[in-house]
Amino acid sequence: MRQPWRVAVVGGGIAGLAAAVRLRDRAPAGTEITVYEQSGALGGKLRTGELAGQPVEFGAESFLMRDPTGAESAAVALARRLGLAEKIVHPTVGQAALVIDGGLRPIPGGTLVGVPGDLDRVATVARPAADADTDGGRPLVGPDADVSVGALVRSRFGDEVVDRLVDPMLGGVYAGRADDLSLVTTMPALARAARVEHTLTGAVRAAQAAAPRAPGAPVFGTLAGGLTTLVEAAVTASGATVRRDAAVRELAATGTGWRLTVGPTRDPELVDVDAVVLAVPARPAARLLAGPAPEVAAGVGALDYASVALVSMVLPQPRLPELSGFLVPSTEGLLIKAATFFTTKWGHLRRPDGLALVRASVGRYGEEAHLQRPDADLAATVHRELSAVLGIPLPAPVDGHVQRWGGALPQYAPGHADRLAAARTALRAAHPTVVLAGAGYDGVGIPVCVRSGETAAEEIITALGGSAR
Ligand SMILES: Cc1cc2nc3c(=O)[nH]c(=O)nc-3n(C[C@H](O)[C@H](O)[C@H](O)COP(=O)(O)OP(=O)(O)OC[C@H]3O[C@@H](n4cnc5c(N)ncnc54)[C@H](O)[C@@H]3O)c2cc1C
């Protein structure tokens, strides 16, 4: 292999940037790393903007502190690697609510993304089916099987637990329906337990026991100053050459490496590299792989995505409840899917002038038509619905922003993990120097995507014949 190595990272989201940092840390000194980002900004779904003179997240808001095994999450480890550990802050108000019959009720604690291990604890919001969760003498899920979260929970606890609890909580992450989402990919810890346990309450308790949390330990963290600081620090630490407004349109094998076609069709730039981290969503990845690996492209490109919009507004002196926000079951018939009271939830964002920042997420999978409405219309509807849910006429906003995220959240159908594993195995066998990373593959969320990018970097180093430093 020629030295120095030339590695292209396609996609400047957090997965691509985590890959670039890991390459810098573990690939041979002098490795040339270039990040190609099609838009004008790095970070992908991490985007810190500003409203009323204060940083506001227009995309992802926070990250999990721990991974499913209970160890420090990859996002925290990356922040530490980048010298940002002391900037991590936690919510001061963690309690959120559910909208049930138009009013707010606290979300019951002790569940796993809404799936209870103790049915009595969810009685305030949903009536579980009586006696359905019986021991049938065998594990809930077969050794290689996958089911939708909704199907499993409906069969064990009945419809209300799904519709009022699990669906809004999973929908808060995926903007999708529990009935469509894979247990194995969206709730891996529960899937592992369900392959052993005979009841769902037993599986939830086993999954919780497998990742014990120290009492009082924070679940979520974010960075004071905004998540864009993570993006900027990763770029600096990676020492990568960054190419913004540089869409990679084609990927062709050269025999010894890869030729990328970059930039506009009329004025393309051809770049030769030794290896490629493909840290883009599944659809652009499938387009790039269509030439060199058509079967892999077909497997990867089958993934569907949901679109959402985040409507942020700054309100003067509203009387907000002492809650971090609320989630809305789709059965409530509201446009709002979730709302976050940022200035209540995050102590570091509270303002002496009493201005409050509220952000609502709208858009569920299959309801994209609502997102065609103009910004002002979405903002007015959100304002009206917030007032109705809170039972108070909210003051008019003094500032606001609508951020649309088209095709942003993967809808992992049952069987996704197996399909992806097959696609990856085929790609590794045919082209070990191209590796997929990011939310299209391993699951959504900053920690998962950081880990995915780091793993991709290590696979590239192995494929190029280097030893991880
Ligand atoms: C609205 C919203 C809120 C979220 N909130 C949270 C949260 O609070 N906490 C959390 O942990 N997770 C959250 N997530 C999920 C999390 O943000 C994502 O899973 C993660 O950021 C995805 O990172 P990624 O690098 O895989 O992909 P992306 O962020 O999508 O980055 C991929 C990049 O590739 C670029 N690209 C695409 N095609 C090409 C091409 N051909 N050439 C060059 N570049 C290309 C894109 O422009 C993009 O910048 C949220 C997601 C959304 C949409």
Q: What is the mean pLDDT of residues 158-167?
A: 97
Residues with C-beta less than 6 Å from any ligand 1 atom: 10-16, 36-39, 44-46, 59-63, 247-248, 279-281, 284, 308, 310, 405, 408-409, 438-439, 444-446, 449
In sequence order, the 6+-apart residues with CB closer than 8 A to the CB of 221 are 62, 63, 65, 75, 76, 88, 89, 90
List all residues 6 or more positions away from 134 whose beta carbon is below 8 Å from its beta carbon. 199
Distance 430 CA to ligand 1 centre (A): 27
Atom number of ligand 1 nearest to Cα 446: 11
pLDDT at res. 468: 52
**CB of 59 within 8 A of CB of 45?**
yes
Q: If you take atom 1 of ligand 1, which residue's CA is the nearest one?
A: 59
pLDDT digits (tens, 9 = 90+) for 214-249: 888 899 999 999 999 999 999 999 999 999 999 999
| Cβ neighbour number for residue 237 with a 10 Å cutoff | 17
- The pLDDT value given to residue 215: 80
Average pLDDT estimate for 46-68: 95
User: Tokens 């997965």 identify what position?
Assistant: 15
Q: In what order do the strands lie in the sheet with 269-273?
A: 248-253, 258-262, 269-273
Residue among 10, 36, 45 whose CB has most ligand 1 atoms within 8 A, to mutate: 45
What's the whole-number average pLDDT of the chain?
A: 95
Q: Distance (Å, rounded) from C-alpha 338 to C-alpha 155?
A: 26
Site to probe by mutation for ligand 1, drawn from 223, 276, 280, 441 as the one with most ligand atoms within 8 Å of Cβ, is 280
pLDDT-based confidence at residue 68 (cuts at 50, 70, 90): confident
Q: Omega into 4 within 30° of 0, i.e. cis? A: yes
Quick one: average pLDDT of 339-346? 97
The residue contributing the CA closest to ligand 1 atom 29 is 44
CA of 295 to the centre of ligand 1 (A): 25
Contacts (Cβ under 8 Å, ≥6 apart) of 97: 104, 105, 106, 107, 321, 323, 325, 326, 327
Å from CA of 155 to ligand 1 middle: 34
pLDDT value at residue 469: 55
What tokens appear for 292 in the block? 């060199």
Per-residue b or e along 439-465, where b marks 16 or more CB atoms closer than 10 Å to that residue's CB: bbbbbbbbbbbbbbbbbbbbbbbebbe
pLDDT at 343: 96
Work out the average pLDDT over 18-35: 97
For 428, counting Cβ atoms within 10 Å of its Cβ (0-12 exposed, 13-18 middle, 19+ buried), the class is middle
Residue 4, token pair as written in the block = 């120095």
Centroid of ligand 1 to alpha carbon of 223 (angstroms): 17
444 Cα nearest atom in ligand 1: 19
Please identify which residue in the block is written with the tokens 């594990």. Answer: 139
Confidence band of 467 (pLDDT split at 50, 70, 90): low
Q: What is the dihedral of CA 251, 253, 258, 262, to 10 degrees?
A: -30
Choice between 132 and 47, residue whose per-residue pLDDT is larger: 47
Q: Is the confidence at residue 125, as pLDDT, over 90?
A: yes
Tell me what pLDDT residue 94 has.
86
Q: What is the largest CA-CA distance in the chain?
A: 67
Q: What is the pLDDT of residues 252-310, one digit of tens each?
A: 999 899 999 999 989 999 999 999 999 999 999 999 999 999 999 999 999 999 999 99
451 CA to middle of ligand 1, Å? 14
Q: Kindly give the distance from the C-alpha atom of residue 228 to the centroid of ligand 1, in angstroms, as a whole number.
A: 13
Indicate which atom in ligand 1 lies nearest the CA of residue 247: 42
Amino acid at 225: G
Measured in angstroms, how far is the CA atom of residue 46 from the centroid of ligand 1?
Answer: 7
pLDDT digits (tens, 9 = 90+) for 202-220: 999 999 998 877 888 899 9
Per the model's pLDDT, the better-predicted residue between 138 and 68 turns out to be 138
Q: Whose alpha carbon is nearest atom 7 of ligand 1?
A: 60
195 alpha carbon to ligand 1 midpoint, in Å?
31
Q: Which helix (H) or strand (E) holds 222?
A: strand 220-223
| Dist. CA 150–CA 139, nearest whole Å | 17
H/E stretch holding 16: helix 14-26
CA distances from 385 to 7, 97, 160 (A): 49, 15, 23
Asked if the model's pLDDT at residue 425 lies above 70, the reply is yes
Q: What does the pLDDT average to over 370-380?
A: 96
Residue 216 Cα to ligand 1 middle (Å): 30
Residues 108-120 pLDDT 10s: 999 999 999 999 9
The share of the chain scoring above pLDDT 70, in percent, equals: 99
Q: Whose CA is closest to atom 4 on ligand 1?
A: 60
Structure confidence at residue 313 as a pLDDT band (50, 70, 90): very high
| Cα 164 from Cα 111, distance rounded (Å) | 13
Note the pLDDT of residue 23. Answer: 98
pLDDT number for residue 318: 83
Q: What DSSP string runs through 44-92?
A: TT--EEEETTEEEESS---EESB-TTSSBPHHHHHHHHTT-GGGEE--S
- Of 244, 229, 287, 232, the C-alpha closest to 34 is 244
Ligand 1 centre to CA of 410 (Å) is 10
* Ligand 1, pocket-test mutation among 262, 269, 346, 444, most atoms within 8 A of CB: 444
pLDDT of residue 3: 82
pTM of the model: 0.96
pLDDT surpasses 80 at 1: no
Least confident of 32-36, 165-169, 314-318: 314-318
Element (H, E) at 383: helix 375-390
**Token pair 């949901």: residue:** 306
CA–centroid distance, 388 to ligand 1, in Å, is 32
